[in-house]
Structures are given as C-alpha cells and as structure tokens.
Structure 1
C-alpha cells in the first residue's frame, strides 16, 4: 500500500510544476487584425470528420466526395485519420455542399464544420450534425409551420422549416432541418394531443448513414452495438428501419 504522505508530497510537487508551465510574461499578444487573404481562405474552408471508421482509402474518399458534391474545384488535406480540411474555390460551391448535406462515405457520416479563424483545428465539435426530418401523420389542418416547429423541437435544435406539397395536390407535409446530437438515440416519433384524440406522428430522416436498430444511434450497426448485444436481440441484420432514409 502506498504511503499517504509520499502521495501527498508527490501531488504537491505536481501542482507546483503545473504552476510553472507558464507565466504572464509568456503571453504573446496577437490581437491585431487577420489579413484579408487569411479571412478569405478561412471562409472557403470546411473541416470534416468521419463519425466512424476513420481509416479509409484517401483517393477513394476524395473521388466519392467530389462526385457527391458535383465539383472538381475542391482540394482536401488529411489532418489525421478520418479528419480532413476542404478548400473550395467559391462561396457558392461551399454553400451548396452544406445545404445538400449531410454527406456520407461508404455509409459513414461525414460531419462538416465551417472554419473559424480563431479556433484551432483540434477544438472543433463534431458531435452534432444537421439532418432533414419529415413529420408523417399530421392531419391536414395541422400542417402549419408552428406545429412542425414544435414537433421538430423534440428532436433537436431547429434550423429551418419547410412545408412541401405532395405532387400536384394542395396537401402538404412538413419537414425540418434539425441539428442532431449524434450521441443520442434517434427519435422515432411523438404523440400529439388533438383534444378529442391522440395521434402518433412519425419522424423520417433524410440521408441517414449507417445506424443501429437496437440502440437507435448513428455510427454503428446492430451487430456491433455495445449497449445492446446483437445476440440478445434476436433481430435479423437487415431488419427494415423505423427511422427512414
């Protein structure tokens, strides 16, 4: 058993050494303005991280992304396995990529973040990603922006609402662009109260990458689920989804 006095002395010495890592004299002021060239470069740069399976063939990855984004005017740098920077030639090209997301490579979600001139590349948060989510089952009279927004807020942060007609009819369905927390299970739906009855409203997600039918999380299949072992579910691997696509 370790001597408590020795452990205390060790801890005290460690704290002292941490205090000596830097001093006020070591602070360097770089508050002067960022050059227009650097700002322009940053504005046209996106950082991207594969949410699962970081080790991929780079050439296959880049070719697939260019094809999906319908552009050759993008350069890509590998910062570390599964972590990339993308430099675009125009704001329109970059905006098109963000608006048409989310993107996937071989069913692995690619989470994108806009470059910020004052954030180190290791400090970006890739645990959230926007998805379009459809609300199915709403009665005709309840398909309004306010109702769709309320339903969408149960899934995550609402970024945009759309009411879209089905074919040439006047009947519309609602969908919302929602910032999802990738660490949480996908919601399958919600119950609404109409006063005289209750209805189940189903959520259907656009462009879903691979996810787990057992725990409902993005990033792995049911066969690799650590929360609910696959052998205990008795499910078929190709079970039809409850979450849409």
Structure 2
C-alpha cells in the first residue's frame, strides 16, 4: 500500500486518481485534496545551471517547496533534465513555463512537463 501511495497521482482512463490514506478525524474533504504530489520535469536549463542549489532555487522560487529533486537523462538523447517532486495545487492552472536567470546564462525559459498528466504540454511514457 505504501508503494501505491508514494507514487500517487495515478493516470486512470485519461483522469488523475489521487489517493491518500484515510484519517477518521481529518480536515474537510475539499481541503485534503487541494494539493497532489507531481513529478515535474524541467527542460531547457543550461548544463552549467543544473546544480542541486539551482534546482532547489528555481523550484522554491517559481513553483513550491520540492519534496525530492534529481538530474536525469533519457537514453539516446543528449543532455540531462531536472526533475522535482512538488505538491501542486490542483485548483490552480498548471504553468507550462517559468522564467529563470543565472549570472552566467542570463535569463531563459524553462519548460515544465508534468509526468503522468495528459494535459501538460508533453505526454511522457515511463
């Protein structure tokens, strides 16, 4: 059961299924399902900006407090992309890009891709 809860939300028939453990005495149902954890991929970050400090700074400053963060690569594709796990407010529109800056790189756009979520700019398959 922990494995299922840690990997929520789940895509089911083109919908997002958010699972949480049941608590007999809890907040209202609406409040408890306002936020859901999502893996968000960040594309377009220059390689010399892909440090842990920069990942945390861009996630905290532009999105929300990250739960996890990492640097990943896809076989057959050059370069790496940043991946962060965030609690996203499901009642607000998703952002497709954020504007970031670095003293060396200057200002640049970072494309956001929400894993397992059909309505983001890109659909990904694990």
TM, length-normalised to structure 1: 0.43
Greater relative contact order, per chain length (Cα 8 Å cut-off, separation 6+): 2
For each residue in 1:101-147, what CA deviation from the matched residue of structure 2 results, as whole angstroms up to 9, or x when unmatched? 31133222212112335437857611111110011011111111221
Greater shift, 142-151 or 115-124, is seen at: 115-124
**Deviation of residue 189 (structure 1)?**
1.4
| Contiguous gaps of at least 5 residues in structure 2 | none
Superposed displacement of residue 165, structure 1? 3.1
- Kindly provide the CA deviation profile for residues 128-179 of structure 1, in whole angstroms up to 9, marking residues without a partner as x: 1111001101111111122112222222331111111333889432100110
1:200 and 2:109 aligned: yes
1:137 is aligned to 44
Could you tell me how far apart the structure 2 residues matched to 1:199 and 1:104 are? 31
Structure-to-structure mapping, 1:47-196, within 5 angstroms: 94-119=1-26, 122=29, 125-153=32-60, 154-167=62-75, 171-195=79-103
Number of residues paired by the alignment? 121
CA contact (8 A) 1:156 1:181 kept: no
Richer in helix (by share): 1
Q: TM-score, normalised by structure 2?
A: 0.78
Separation (CA, whole Å) in 1 of partners of 2:29 and 2:48: 48
Contact 2:9 2:16 in 1 (8 A): yes
Cα pair distance change 1:138/1:100, threshold 3 Å: same
Q: Give the superposed CA RMSD.
A: 2.7
